Amino acid sequence: MANEQELQSLFNNLDRDQDGKVSINELFLSPGLSAIISSETNTSSPQELLARYGLGEDGSITFEELKQAVEKANNLT
């Protein structure tokens, strides 16, 4: 599991327009980075990530939401 610092830097890289949120578009613009997120959350695609954790319903993901998804994934296994 990535530590919080690694997750934060991953999140910042995904957040191309630096507005503090990763939009669904940004998630799909960086397939390499979203693949890392998928592996951290035990999902096989960004679509599955969003569906399984109920993320992105408002069009974007916050760092807190991402962190919770990773924590959930690691508690479930």
Q: Which is nearer to Ca ion, 57 or 75 (CB)?
A: 57
The dihedral sign for the CA sequence 69, 45, 56, 18: positive
Instruction: Write out the residues near Ca ion by the rule CB under 5 A.
Output: 15, 17, 19, 21
Q: Which is nearer to Ca ion, 42 or 62 (CB)?
A: 62
Least distance (Å) between residue 77 CB and Ca ion: 29
Q: Which is nearer to Ca ion, 28 or 44 (CB)?
A: 28
Distance CA 62, CA 74 (A): 19
| Spatial contact of 21 and 15, defined as CB atoms under 8 Å apart | yes
